[in-house]
Structure 1
Amino acid sequence: MNIDTIPFVAAPPAPRAGLPNARDMSHHLNSITKRRQANKLKELYKYAALPGMVPMAGGVPSPTIFPFETLSADILPYNHLPLDPPRVPKKQGLLEWLFSSSAPTTEKISIPKYAADPKDPMAIQLSTSLQYAAATGPPAFPIWLRKYVETVFKPAFADWDVLLDVGATDAMTKVCNMLLVEGDSVMVEEWTYPGAMNAYLPYDVNVVGLPMDNEGIIPADMDKVLSSWNEEKQGPRPRLLYTVPTGQNPTGATMLAERRKAVYDICSKYDVVIVEDEPYYCLFMDAYVPRDAKLSPMDKAQRDAEKLEGKKGNEAFLKSLPPSFLHFDTDGRVIRFDTFSKTSCPGSRLGWITSSPIFIERLTRIAECGTQAPSGFATALTLTMLNHWGWDGYVRWLRGIKANYRMKRDWMLDALADSFHLESDGSSINPLVLSTPLGRGYTAYARPDPASPERRWDEKRGVQSAHGAPLISFIPPSAGMFIFLGVHLNTHPEYRGPDDTRTLMDKLWRTLAKHHVLFAPGWAFDANGPHNIGGDGVGYFRLSFSIVTYEQTRESMEVFAKVLKQFLRA
C-alpha cells in the first residue's frame, strides 16, 4: 500500500452522474485563511490507523490507562414519540397514576474500549474515540453524515464534503474567520439570530438587513440592494448572506422551493456565499388549523393529504421537507450548518458543515488550531445511538420530534385563541402578514365584553371593530420553535411615536417577567431596521413553545392577556 495516497478521512460517496464540480471559490477567502497550513503532526494521524503500524510519532497516551473501560447509556426507542399526539393531553386518573410506571421504556447501548473488529470503518471504540484525533472526527461519523446529506439534501454539485463542528455557533465563528475582513458587508434577514451577530460584528462589518415576508427574504428587495450598491459610498458589495431558511429565528418564516431558488440565483448572479443555518430543518410541519375551525374544501383536502402523507412513512416525511440551498447549488457557494441540538441534545455540542472542497479544507485547518474535533464522548455516544436505531429508525425519530413540536405549537396558539379574540387576515389592520401557503396570519383583540356589544371606533388608528383596538398580531409558524408576536402600542397613553416603541416594550417585558412570564424581546434580534414586517407603533416578542408544558402554556397566555390589557390602559 502506498501510504502517500491514504486520504485524511474516508472518501465521500460516489456523486450522482452528470453533476459538475464546485467552482473555484478561493477569491472569497481572506488573507489569513489563505496562509493557513495543515498541522504537520496531526497529518500523521491518518497513518497511525494502518494495520501493523508501530505508532511512535505522536505524544499520545496509551488507551490502557484510560479510566473508561465501557461507556453505556439507556436511550429511548426510535418510536418513543407518537406521530399523532392528542391536541389536548389526557388527564391521568388516580388509579392510572398509581398502577402505571412513569418511566419510559428504554434500550441500552454500550461502547467497549476495544471493538471486536477494529478494522471495521464503522467500529466505535473508546480506545480511539477518547484519543487525540483528526479535526475531521472519527472516520465513521463522516461516513454516516455523507449518507444523510446525499439522501436528504441531494447537493447539485459533485465534490461536496462534510466537517464536524461544535454546534452552529462554532461553525459560524469559523466561517467568519475564513471569509471576513474588517469593513465587509454581511446580508442577513431584517430579524436575525443574535448568536450569529456575535460572530460577525467584531469584524466591524456593515450589516445589511434584508426585508422579509412570511416566507423569509424577499428576492426583489435583495436584488435591489445588490444592483444599486455604491462601492464608493458603501464599501465593498456584500459577498456573504447569512440566513435561517426553515422556521427562521425569530420570525418562524420558512422559505419554500421557489423562494430558495430565486434567492440562490441572485447570490450566483452577484457571487455571494450563502451560509444556510438549519437547526430547525426537520421541524418543518403542516400549517396551523384553529381547534374549532370549519375547514374549507381546499383546507380539508390539504389536511387529508397531510395525514395520508404521514401514514406513508419515512420516505414521505423526507420528501415533504423544503429543499436545501444545496439542492440548487451548482457553484459550491453554499455553506450549510446542521446540528444534533434540536434532534438529540444541545449539550452534545455536535453538528456539521456541508460545503465545497475548498471551504471544507480551509475550515479543517481553522479547526486544527482551535476546537479540533468535537468531544469523543459526544461523537461516540451519538454515533452508537444512530447505529443502534438504524437509518429508518433515526428518520422515524425525526418524525416523532416534528409531531411533538407541532403539538406544542398548537397548544400555544390554542391558548392564545382562548385568551384573546382572534381574527384571521383579510383585514387591513394586520400589519404582519397576508394569507400564504404556510398558513394565515391573525390579529388578536380583547375578549368581547357582553355588556358592550356595540361596535367601537379606535380614534388613533381609524379602525372600526366589534372588539376595539388590535392588541397583537402573529403568523402561526410552519416550522421551528417560535411564535413572533407584534404588540400594537398605538393606544398606550404614553405612545407619541416610533421612538417610544422600545421604551414601552421594555416596560411591558419587565412587567411580564414580574408575573413569571418570560418572553424574548424583539430588539435582541433586530438586524438594523427599519422593518418591512410590522410598522410604526408595533413592538415584538419571541415566544418559544418548545419546553413549556400544556398547563404552563395555558396559564402564561392567560397572564399575558391580562397584563397586556392592563398595560395598554395604563
Structure 2
Amino acid sequence: MMNVVTAAAEAPKFADLTHHLAPEVLVRKTNPLKDIIRISWENPHLVSLANGDPHHSLYPIRRVEYEVASAADEDPVSAWRSLGASAPTQLLTSSRDADSPRLHQASLAYGHGVGLPDALRTVTALNNAYHTAPHHVATMTLGNADAITKVFRMLGSAGDYFLADEFTFGPMPIAAEAHGVKWVPVRIDSGGIIPKELERILANWDSRRGKRPHVLYAVPCGQNPTGSTLSLERRKRIYEISQKYDLIIVEDDPYYFLQYDPPSTEAHSTQTQKPFPVSFLSLDVDGRVIRIDSFSKIMAPGLRLGWITSQPAFQQHLVRFIDLSSQQPSGFPQALVSLLLDGWGLAGFDRWVRSLRLDYQRRRDFLLGLFQREVAPGGLASVDVPEAGMFLWVRVHLEKHPRFTRKAEEVVEGGRTNARELMQELFEACIRGGLLIVPATVFVLPTETGYEEEGSVHIDDRSNFLRATFAGSEETMAAGMPILGKVLKEFFADPSTARIDATSTVA
C-alpha cells in the first residue's frame, strides 16, 4: 500500500486552489524539527543523531493489551451487546518485546503532524475501500472538531464568507466566527441542501458585501440536527455548482457508516442493506473536496481520533499547522485502530460497521414506534424518517397553538410570527415535565440578514422543530416520548401558559 509521500508524488495535477488559503496559512513556516522526523521516517537507513526523543528503552510501558470485540460473526454488534462477558473477543497487543516493536515505540515517541505511518495506512485502506480517491491523501486528527477547526482556519480569514445548512450543529460555525468568518445560510429540506438555493445565492451575490463565498461546509449523511441525507443527484449537482463558482467543499461526514433502510417489520440483515452512498470525495476530480472522518461514532468518541482527506497541496499546510499547534494525535488510539484493522481485516471492519448500522436502525425504528404511539395521535407533531445519523427532527405544528400569531406589518426584524417565542416556551415546558430535548433555534446558523429570497419564510418562522436522539438506551427513549406527548398536549391545550423568562438559555 502506498504511503502518503508516494501518493503525493504520483498524484495527477489537481486544479490549483491555493487562492482559497487564508493569508496566515501562506506565511506559516514548517516546524524544522518536525520536518527532521519526516526525513527519518522516509529514510530509515539513516543514522540519526538529530531528534531529542527520550530513548524507547526508558518508556515505562512495556506492553499494552486491548481486548476488543470479535468481528468474525455476521452481526458482531448484536453478539457484543447480548452476550456480555461471554461475547467473543480478540486480544490486540502492542509491546516493546514483540518481534516487530516498531508500532509500540512509535506510539510513545514524538511524531510528525501527518500521523503515525501505520495509522495512515489504516485510514488510507478505509478510504480506498469506501471511496474512489486514489490520489487524495490522509492526515490524522484529534477527531472531527479538531479537524473542522483546522480546516476552517486554513481556508478562512476575517471578512470571508462560508456557506452552510441553515440549521447546523452550533459549535462548528462558532469555531470559524472566532477568526472573522461570516456565515451564509443555504435553504434545506428533508433531502438536505437544495442545490438551486445554493446556486441562487452564488449567482446573485452582491459584491458590495465582500468576496463571494468560497467554502461550503456540508454534512451529507444524517445531517445534525435534521437527519437529512443528500441524494446522489443532489451531490452531483452541488459539485457542479462548486466547480462553476469555485467552491471548496468541506465534507464533514461522521455518520457515513450509519446508513439505514426504510422501517420494516421484517428482520433486517447486514446482507441486504443498501450500499454506502457515493461521497463528495469520490466525485472530486479537481481536488476541491476536503473530507473529514472520525472514529467517534463507530468506535468511541473518547479516542479523539479521525482523519482529513485532501489533495496533497492542502495537506502540507495542514501539517504545518498541526506541527505548530496540537501536534499529532495521541499515539495510543492511533496504535489501537492500526492493530484493530490488522486484527479484523477490512472484511471484519465492514461487518462491524454494517452490524452497527443495523443496531442503530433498530434504535431508530424503536423511537419512531414510540413517537407514533405517544405523540403522533395528537396531531401536534410529525417526523420524517432519517436515512442516516442519530437524530429525529420533530416538526411541531405551531399553527395549531391557540396563541400562535402573526406580527404587525411594521415589524421588520426577525420572523413574521411568534414561532420562536413559542418554541422557547415549549422547551421550558419540556424541562418542567422532566424531558431535555433540543429546540431548533439552537441550530440556526448565525448570520447577517439579507440572504433570503424575496417572499421566503424567515428562519425564525421555520424553527418549529425539536431534535431527539435515538443513540441512547431504549429505556431512555421509552421514558422520554410519553413525556413529550404529554407536554405537547398540555402546551397546546392551555392558552394561558405563562411566558418564560427571555434570559433563559439551553444548557
- The residue identity in structure 2 corresponding to 1:407 is R
Report the CA distance shift for 1:128/1:84 in structure 2 as closer, same or farther (over 3 A).
Answer: closer
In the alignment, what sits opposite 2:262? Answer: 287
Equivalent position to 1:31, from 23, 33, 38:
23
**Is 527-536 or 364-373 further displaced after alignment?**
527-536
Give the residue type in structure 1 aligned to 2:25: T
Counterpart residue number, 1:12: 7
Equivalent residue for 1:539, pick from 464, 470, 485: 464
Q: Could you report, residue by residue, the CA deviation over 1:77-113 in whole angstroms, capped at 9, with x for unpaired residues?
A: 1156838979xxx9x9xxxxxxx86553322211102
Matched, 1:61 2:54: yes
What residue number does 2:358 align with?
Answer: 403
Does residue 162 in structure 1 map to residue 138 in structure 2? yes
Map of 1:97-116 to 2, 5 A cutoff?
Answer: 103-116=86-99
**2:109 paired with 1:135:** no
Match of 2:103 in 1: 124
Q: Which string of whole-angstrom CA distances, capped at 9 and with x for unpartnered residues, describes residues 378-415 of structure 1?
A: 11122112211111001110101110110000000000
Q: Return the match for 2:253 from 278, 287, 312.
A: 278
Q: Distance in 2 between matches of 1:124 and 1:10?
A: 19
Task: Report whether the alignment pairs 1:208 with 2:184.
Answer: yes
| Structure number with larger C-alpha Rg | 1
2-structure distance, mates of 1:519, 1:81:
35
Q: Deviations over 1:423-482 (max 9, x none)?
A: xxxxxxxxxxxxxxxxxxxxx341xxxxxxxxxxxxxxxxxxxxxxx3112211010000
Where does the alignment leave 5 or more consecutive residues of structure 2 unmatched?
A: 407-415, 495-507
Partner amino acid, structure 2, of 1:557: M
What are the ranges of 5 or more consecutive residues in structure 1 without an aligned counterpart?
1-6, 93-99, 292-302, 421-443, 447-469
Post-superposition offset of 1:566 = 0.7
Tell me the alpha carbon deviations over residues 528-570 of structure 1, each in whole angstroms, 9 at most, x when there is no partner. 58787998476211101012x2232122111110111011112
Query: Residue 150 and residue 246 in structure 1: after superposition, are their counterparts in 2 closer, same or farther (change >3 A)?
Result: same
Question: 1:430 aligns to what?
Answer: none
Alpha-carbon separation, structure 2, partners of 1:331 and 1:377: 35
> What's the counterpart of residue 475 of structure 2?
551
Partner of 1:463: none
Q: Does 1:148 align with 2:126?
A: yes
Asked whether the 8 Å contact 1:8–1:46 carries over to 2, the reply is no
1:383 aligns with 2:338: yes
Tell me the amino acid that sits aligned with residue 475 of structure 1.
D
In structure 2, C-alpha distance between the alignment counterparts of 1:262 and 1:26, rounded to whole Å: 24
Answering whether residue 160 of structure 2 is matched by residue 242 of structure 1, we say no
- Which residue matches 1:172? 148
Pairing of 1:421-460 with structure 2 (within 5 A):
444-446=376-378
Q: Is 1:504 aligned to 2:418, yes or no?
A: no
- What is the identity, as a one-letter code, of the residue corresponding to 1:35? V
**TM-aligned CA distance change 1:51 to 1:493, over 3 Å:** closer
Task: Determine the C-alpha separation between the residues in 1 that align with 2:460 and 2:377.
Answer: 18
Greater shift, 132-141 or 106-115, is seen at 106-115
Per mean C-alpha deviation after superposition, the further-off stretch among 166-175 and 49-58 is 49-58
Distance 1:52 1:102, change over 3 A: closer
Specify the SS of the correspondent of 2:140: strand
In structure 2, what is the Cα distance between the partners aligned to 1:389 and 1:533?
Answer: 50
Distance 1:47 1:358, change over 3 A: closer
Amino acid at match of 1:401: L
Residue pair 1:252, 1:482 contacting (<8 A) in 2 also: yes
Question: How far apart, in 1, do the equivalents of 2:86 and 2:430 lie?
Answer: 35
For 1:282, what is the secondary structure of its paired residue? coil
- 1:206 CA displacement: 2.8
**Letter of the structure 1 residue corresponding to residue 96 of structure 2:** K
Give the root-mean-square deviation of aligned CA atoms: 2.8
Do the aligned partners of 1:124 and 1:380 also contact (CA within 8 Å) in 2? Answer: yes
Describe the shift of the 1:46–1:221 C-alpha distance in structure 2 as closer, same or farther (beyond 3 A): closer
Q: Deviations 1:13-34 (Å, cap 9, x if unpaired)?
A: 997xxx9531111111121111
Query: Which position in structure 1 is the counterpart of 2:175?
Result: 199
Percentage identity across paired residues of the two chains: 33
Offset at 1:56? 2.3
Change (3 A) 1:277 1:264: same
- 1:525 counterpart = 2:443: yes
What is the Cα deviation at residue 484 of structure 1?
0.6
Task: For residue 170 of structure 1, report the CA deviation from its aligned partner.
Answer: 0.8
- Give the residue type in structure 2 aligned to 1:104: A
| Aligned residue-pair number | 475
What is the CA–CA distance in structure 2 between the aligned matches of 1:13 and 1:538, rounded to whole Å?
Answer: 45
Match of 1:357 among 300, 303, 312: 312
Alignment partners' CA distance in 2, 1:532 and 1:403:
38
**SS of equivalent residue, structure 2 residue 399:** coil
Distance 1:139 1:533, change over 3 A: farther
* 1:189–1:81 Cα change, 3 Å: farther
TM-fit CA distance, 1:186:
0.8
Residue 327 of structure 2 aligns to a residue in which SS?
coil
**Do 1:211 and 1:221's aligned partners in 2 also have CA atoms closer than 8 Å?**
yes
Which residue matches 1:436? none
Q: Is the 8 A contact 1:246 1:255 kept in 2?
A: yes
What is the CA-CA distance between 1:133 and the residue it aligns to? 0.7
* 2:373 paired with 1:418: yes
Q: Distance in 2 between matches of 1:311 and 1:52?
A: 47
What displacement does 1:143 show? 1.6
Separation in structure 1 between the aligned mates of residue 181 and residue 50 of structure 2, nearest angstrom: 43
Shift of 1:262: 0.1
For normalisation by structure 1, the TM-score amounts to 0.78
Residues 467-500 of structure 1: CA deviation (Å, up to 9, x unaligned): xxx3112211010000011112233343323553
Counterpart of 1:265 in structure 2 is 240
Is the partner of 2:340 in helix, strand or coil?
helix
SS of match in other structure, 1:141: helix
Q: Is the 8 A contact 1:184 1:206 kept in 2?
A: yes
In structure 2, do the counterparts of structure 1 residues 533 and 386 end up closer, same or farther at CA, with 3 Å as the change threshold?
Answer: farther
Distance in 1, Cα, partners of 2:430 & 2:420: 15
Indicate conservation of the 8 Å contact 2:77/2:352, yes or no: no
Summarize the alignment of residues 211-222 of structure 1 with structure 2, pairs less than 5 Å apart. 211-222=187-198
Aligned-partner SS, 1:514: helix
Distance 1:236 1:10, change over 3 A: closer
In the TM superposition, what whole-angstrom CA distance separates every residue of 1:334-357 from its partner, at most 9, and x where no partner exists?
000000000101011100011111
Task: Check whether the contact 1:474–1:486 (CA below 8 A) recurs between aligned residues.
Answer: yes
**Structure 1 residues 482 and 101: CA distance shift in structure 2, 3 A:** closer
Alignment-mate amino acid for residue 396 of structure 2: V
SS at match of 1:561: helix
Deviations 1:42-64 (CA, angstroms, capped at 9, x unpaired) = 11113445556443212211112
Shift of 1:257: 1.1
CA deviation profile, 1:171-221 (whole Å, cap 9, x unmatched): 111112111111111110111121211211123333111111221111111
Q: Distance in 2 between matches of 1:399 and 1:509?
A: 35
